[in-house]
Amino acid sequence: MTVVYFIRHAEPNYKNHNDELRELTEKGLADRKLVTEFLRDKDIDIVLSSPYKRSIDTVKHFADKYGRQVITIPDFRERKVDSVWIDDFTSFSEQQWKDFDYKLTDGETLREVQSRNIAALEWVLKEYKNKNIVVGSHGTALSTIINHYDTSFGYLSFKKIKAIMPWIVKFTFDGNLLQSIEMINV
C-alpha cells in the first residue's frame, strides 16, 4: 500500500499578494507543529511539496525534525487565479466549481488544476510505490484531487474546508487504485 498525506498549508499572510512567496503568519508558523505532531509516528519515507513558500514551510518543520529533505514538485502548485489580486474570491470560487472550465483572462480552470495535480500524483504513486508520503499542498489544488476520486466533493465541501488550515487528507492506494480517503482536522 502507498499512503499519501496531503497537507494543506497552515495560515498564510494574505497581505502578501505574491502567491508563490506568500509566507505563513505567526499562527501558521505555530500550527505547523500540529502537522509535525500528527506525522511523527506515521513512518514517513519522503516529503514532497508544492513549490510555494507557505506549503514548503508547513511541511519543512516536520522534515527538519526528522531529517528529511523537502522535494518540490511544480505540478502540485495551487491554481493560478489571474495576474491581479481578486477581491471577491468567494464568488470567483463558486463560479469555478459550477463550471470546471471557467477561468479569468490569465488564470487556470479547475479542470486544468485537477489534471496537473492528478498527473503529479500518478507520477508519485509510480515513483514511490509502497511508501508513506507527505505532500505540502493547497486548498483548491487538494480539493480538485479529492473531487477526481469523489465527485460529490464540490463547492459546498470546498466552502466547508476553506478556513481549515492546516488540513490533512490521507489517501491510501493499492498500486494506482484508491482504497480510501480520510479527511483529518489537526
Binding annotation for substrate: 54
Question: Across the strands, what pairs with 185?
Answer: 167
Residue 92 contacts residue 82 (beta carbons within 8 Å): no
How far apart CA 122 and CA 132 sit, in angstroms, is 15
What is the dihedral sign for C-alpha 170, 174, 177, 180?
A: negative
Cell, residue 61: 518543520
Q: Which amino acid is at 163?
A: A
Strands 132-137 and 46-49: parallel
Please enumerate, by residue number, every residue annotated as part of a binding site.
54
How far apart CA 7 and CA 9 sit, in angstroms, is 6
How far apart CA 60 and CA 46 sit, in angstroms, is 12
Of 146, 151, 156, the C-alpha closest to 184 is 146
How far apart CA 119 and CA 181 sit, in angstroms, is 18
